[in-house]
Amino acid sequence: MLSRLSIRDIVLIEKLDIDFLPGLSVLTGETGAGKSILLDALSLALGARGDASLVRHGAAQGQVIAVFDVPRNHPARALLADNDIEDDGDIILRRVQTADGRTRVFVNDQPSSVTLMRDVGRALVEIHGQHDERALVDSGAHRELLDSFGGHLGAVRGTGEAWRYWRSCEQELSRHRAKVEAAAREADYLRASVAELAKLDPQPGEETELAELRARMMRAEKIASEVHDAQDVLSGPSSPLPQLASLLRRLQRKSGEVPGLLDDVVKSLDEAMISLDAAQSGVETALRATEYDPQRLEKAEERLFSLRAASRKHNVAVDDLAQLRDTMAADL
């Protein structure tokens, strides 16, 4: 039975609490006294359609709480059990309607849906009126009436339990199938990743070595042209060394004819020739040191970029790619 009805800020009612005693309760009053408002409020707690116009003017929200004291074997309790709602005492239906049209539903203080509240409400209350539904003409209630009249409620409960068990098995089977499909997709991913990393064959410290090699070769590429220019000046067709060498030989021959006159000049030219020879050797040494193979640089860059791309793809450091490959292979 309905044992208590609490109304807050619904239509004209600011606050109202009604406790119903066992037996027949009758509400009387002249037209406009508020009898219909009580029924509208109760209907709201039973899952009727909410409306912002039900909220009292000036209030942010309205609320209706209906408390029912029913036997343990009441059908409404079965609905609560089917929806995993605690049911230790009275059944409490609470509906909050906001002035902006939103609504919240609570069954035994647990957030719920309007659909469940409506189903529980139909099991608890039957409203008879000129424009309200009557259970006798509600096609949704006919089967229950027939089963009750024929004494088949036990079979109905057994069928319901069997159906719920079947549904549980179906859901469990679906979950297992999903796990198998996920495992198959994971296996495909692992196989592809292992094959990719095995082909790449990353080595410890390889990234550092390739990065240093690439940096050296890029620096060499930048200074190679300057070194080549120096070699052309010292050893190319326009090199002054042959002319200076010829001049030095001529002066050496003439210095004997005039002793002491050209000694300093010859000495300076000789030292200059020695310095130029050393510079020429140094340039050749530098040229050899700065030589680089464009194809080797290209291969080094391709390898380095491949390693780093795999590192980004698998979200691990380049040096950890080999360990990742071994871990994936073990997972397979």
Could you read off the pLDDT of 264-293 as tens digits, one per residue?
Answer: 777 777 777 777 778 777 777 776 666 567
* Nearest Cα residue to 329 out of 128, 193, 231, 211: 193
Contact 193, 331 (CB under 8 A): no
Q: What's the pLDDT score for residue 45?
A: 92
Beta strands across the sheet bearing 2-10? 13-19, 2-10, 61-68, 91-98, 103-107, 110-111
Q: What's the pLDDT score for residue 107?
A: 94
Cross-strand pairs, 48: none
DSSP three-state, residue 56: coil
Cross-strand pairs, 95: 64, 105
- What DSSP state is assigned to residue 34? S
For residue 111, name the pLDDT band (cuts at 50, 70, 90): very high
152 or 133: which leads in pLDDT? 152
For residue 19, give the H/E element and its range: strand 13-19
Q: What's the pLDDT score for residue 332?
A: 76
Least confident among 190-204, 239-253, 307-321:
239-253
Per-residue pLDDT at 209 exceeds 60: yes
Q: What's the pLDDT score for residue 138?
A: 66
178-195 tens-digit pLDDT: 998 988 888 888 888 888
The sign of the CA dihedral 221, 225, 230, 231 is positive
Least confident among 7-21, 47-61, 79-93, 119-133:
119-133
- What DSSP state is assigned to residue 30? -
Q: How far apart are the first and last CA of the chain?
A: 62
Please state the rounded mean pLDDT for residues 242-258: 72
Per-residue pLDDT at 139 exceeds 60: yes
Per-residue pLDDT at 204 exceeds 90: no
Contact 229, 238 (CB under 8 A): no
Strands 91-98 and 61-68: antiparallel
Please state the rounded mean pLDDT for residues 209-216: 86
Least confident among 17-21, 257-261, 273-277, 307-311:
257-261
Per-residue pLDDT at 2 exceeds 70: yes
Q: Which residues contact 158 (CB under 8 A, 6 or more apart)?
A: none
Q: What's the pLDDT score for residue 69?
A: 92
> How far is the CA of 69 from the CAs of 36, 73, 91, 221, in angstroms?
23, 12, 7, 92
Q: What's the pLDDT score for residue 275?
A: 79
Q: Provide the mean pLDDT of the chain.
A: 84
Report the share of the chain in percent with pLDDT over 70.
89
Q: What's the pLDDT score for residue 61?
A: 94
Q: What's the pLDDT score for residue 129?
A: 66
Q: What's the pLDDT score for residue 163?
A: 93
Q: What count of other Cβ atoms lies within 10 Å of the Cβ of residue 46?
A: 21
Q: Which residues contact 200 (CB under 8 A, 6 or more apart)?
A: 306, 307, 310, 321
Q: What count of other Cβ atoms lies within 10 Å of the Cβ of residue 322?
A: 17
Per the confidence metrics, is the pTM higher than 0.85?
no
Q: What's the pLDDT score for residue 136?
A: 63
Cross-strand pairs, 105: 95
